[in-house]
Amino acid sequence: MQDPKFIKSPKKSPLILTIVVLFFLMVSGVYICSIRLWQISPRTNAKFLNIKALDQQQQQQCQAPDIEQWEAPLIHFPNPKTFNREECVCNPVRYFAIFSMQRSGSGWFETLLNSHINVSSNGEIFGLRDRRSNISSILETLDRVYNLDWFSSASKNECSAAIGFKWMLNQGVMQHHKDIVEYFKKNGVSAIFLFRKNLLRRTISLLANAYDKDVRPLNGTHKSHVHSSAEVSSA
Ligand SMILES: *[C@@H]1O[C@H](CO)[C@@H](O)[C@H](O)[C@H]1NC(C)=O
Ligand SMILES: *[C@@H]1O[C@H](CO)[C@@H](O)[C@H](O)[C@H]1NC(C)=O
Ligand SMILES: *[C@@H]1O[C@H](CO)[C@@H](O)[C@H](O)[C@H]1NC(C)=O
């Protein structure tokens, strides 16, 4: 009768002791962890900052070979937010904008540019009224385009060597010209002015386009720019 009791009690106490010790270990573990995390967090920030600084250094280490000194402000190494430029990270990128007026051949010119594997011209991105309603919206859009974060059917992404778009003078250019010029100077954007020399032809094109709009729709919709001979022949 006494034997089992004697055996039971020492068996019980180590179990309780183990539980207590485990509990203590757990609590102290959590405590130590939280303290270490709290101590580490500023250091982790510093680490991130270092990585960022390194990134910038790497960007500065990218050097375009054999360029003239005057060209240097026009050469960029953008760091897109939406993807990695990978093997092309040190390929220099040039920024451009084509200023033009409707019916001046800018659509044709853009198609020509986009036929090059390293050139992306993103079309009339300020055709949308919302995007050009105020200067902050315009600058934000420009930032995205030139950081290679703008996606259109023309985007070449990683290995783009020249990036730009088409901007009609009546799409907010005249209202905000001061800020736009300042942005272009600060960010080394080249402005390409494309105007039709023969104003009579432009006027004829305007009138013909207005006429076509009502009379000769292409597959049910009006198309103001034709980009291939197939489109021309079916028009
Ligand atoms: C600028 O325009 C955008 C888009 O229309 C709008 O969301 C934003 O609030 C406007 N900002 C200012 C400062 O008016
Ligand atoms: C042009 O693109 C090709 C392939 O996408 C790439 O290999 C090449 O380095 C690019 N050239 C320039 C000048 O960026
Ligand atoms: C017009 O529509 C037809 C059939 O839907 C298509 O095969 C053709 O490519 C279209 N043409 C143009 C110019 O979009």
Torsional class of 220: left (φ above 0), alpha (ψ -120 to 50), beta (otherwise):
left
Residue with CA nearest ligand 3 atom 2: 219
pLDDT value of residue 216: 67
133 C-beta closer than 6 A to ligand 1: yes
pLDDT value of residue 42: 45
Cβ pair 96, 162 in contact under 8 A? yes
130 C-beta closer than 6 A to ligand 1: yes
Tell me how many helices (H) and strands (E) the chain has.
Answer: 6, 4
User: What is the distance in angstroms between the CA of the first residue and the CA of the last residue of the chain?
Assistant: 109
pLDDT value of residue 197: 79
Q: What SS3 class is residue 76?
A: strand
Q: Which ligand is closest in space to the CA of residue 89? A: 2
CA of 117 to the centre of ligand 2 (A): 7
pLDDT value of residue 132: 94
Written as six digits, the tokens of 156 are 């070449």
90 C-beta closer than 6 A to ligand 2: no
170 C-beta closer than 6 A to ligand 1: no
118 C-beta closer than 6 A to ligand 2: yes
128 C-beta closer than 6 A to ligand 2: no
Residue with CA nearest ligand 3 atom 6: 219
pLDDT value of residue 205: 80
- Tell me, letter by letter, the H, E, C secondary structure of 98-133: EEECCCCCHHHHHHHHHCCCCEEECCCHHHCHHHHC
Low-confidence ranges of the chain (pLDDT < 50): 1, 33, 40-55, 57
Q: Which distant-in-sequence residues (6+ apart) come within 8 Å of 128 by Cβ?
A: none
62 C-beta closer than 6 A to ligand 2: no
Backbone angles phi, psi at 180, to 5 degrees: -70, -45
Give residue for tokens 């050097």.
Answer: 63
* Angle, helices 177-187/135-146, rounded to nearest 10 degrees: 30
Residue 207, number of CB atoms within 10 A of its CB: 11
What is the best residue among 216, 219, 224 to mutate for testing ligand 3's pocket, by most ligand atoms within 8 Å of CB?
A: 219
141 C-beta closer than 6 A to ligand 1: no
Is the dihedral angle over the CA atoms 52, 93, 163, 130 positive or is it negative? Answer: positive
Q: Which distant-in-sequence residues (6+ apart) come within 8 Å of 120 by Cβ?
A: 114, 152, 154, 155, 156, 160, 162, 163, 164
Distance CA 193, CA 177 (A): 14
Q: What SS3 class is residue 185?
A: helix
